[in-house]
Every structure is written in C-alpha cells, then in structure tokens.
Amino acid sequence: VAYFVLYYLFIGYQAVVIFRVSSEYKKKGERFQRYYNAGDHRILAADRTVGNMLEQMVPFISLFWLYVVFVDPHFGSTLGWVYVASRFTYPFLYKNTWRGKPRLKVLASTVTNYAVIVFFVVGLAKKGLS
C-alpha cells in the first residue's frame, strides 16, 4: 500500500511542479510548452521521479510478491520498506543535485532500489534451486 501511496504522491508532485512553472511563464508573458521546456530543472526532476518509479514498478512489485509468497514474508516486507523509503528520497536527491553538480547523490536511492531487486532475484533463484 505504501508503494502505491508514494506513487500517487509523486504524480501529484509532478502536476504541482508543472502548474507552478507554467504559472511563472504566464506571469512573464512567455509561452509554456510542456515538453519544449523540459530543460527546466524542476520539471526534469519531477519527470524523472515519476519516470524512474514507473521504470522500476513492474520488476519491484512482481519480485516483491514472489519473494514474500515463496521465500520469506517477514524479511521480504522489511526489504519492501527499505525500497519504499529509498524511493521516497529520489526526488530530494535528484532536485538537490541538478544545478551543475554531479548527480551522484541520486545513486544512493537508485542503487539501493536495484540492490533490493537483485536480492529478490537471488533469493527466488536459490529457492527455485533448492
């Protein structure tokens, strides 16, 4: 449930950012075109937050459920919380590393998420081989 709550929070975050940036353009008398202004760091951060979550949604959800059903429900749920907590940090890490600085901070979120997914795969493979 927490994963899907976070997903909809990110969708809302994306909508709010787009609304605010488009309002700024209107106040300046400039035309706002959603995809032609993608260079705006705020829009890019919001888009990447939602995009990255969507890219990893199917692997995470499917492997999470397989792991908790066939391997270990307690440890699987702990890893699920680690994944959600790490995913929650993504927009903050991405947004705060955009302005000309290396985006290495965002790797703290993505690498943690990939590690959880790999752990699920390895656990399922071990269970399948035993």
Residue 130 has pLDDT above 90, yes or no: no
Residue 59 has pLDDT above 60, yes or no: yes
Q: What is the pLDDT of residue 42?
A: 84
The model's pLDDT over 66-108, given as tens digits with 9 standing for 90+, comes to 999 999 999 999 999 999 999 999 998 887 665 556 567 888 9
CA distance 20 to 94: 18
The model's pLDDT over 1-58, given as tens digits with 9 standing for 90+, comes to 999 999 999 999 999 999 999 899 889 998 887 775 556 788 888 888 999 999 999 9
Exposure pattern of 42-60 as b/e (b: 16+ CB <10 Å)?
ebbbbbbbbebbeebeeeb
Q: What is the pLDDT of residue 34?
A: 73
Say which residue the tokens 């449930």 belong to.
1
CA distance 47 to 100: 18
2 contact partners, CB below 8 Å, separation of at least 6: 81, 84
Q: What is the pLDDT of residue 95?
A: 76
Q: What is the pLDDT of residue 32?
A: 80
Identify the burial level of 63 via C-beta atoms within 10 angstroms of its C-beta, where 0-12 means exposed, 13-18 middle and 19 or more buried. buried
* Rounded (10°) angle between helices 41-70 and 73-95: 170
Q: Where would I find the H helices in the chain?
A: 2-28, 41-70, 73-95, 107-129
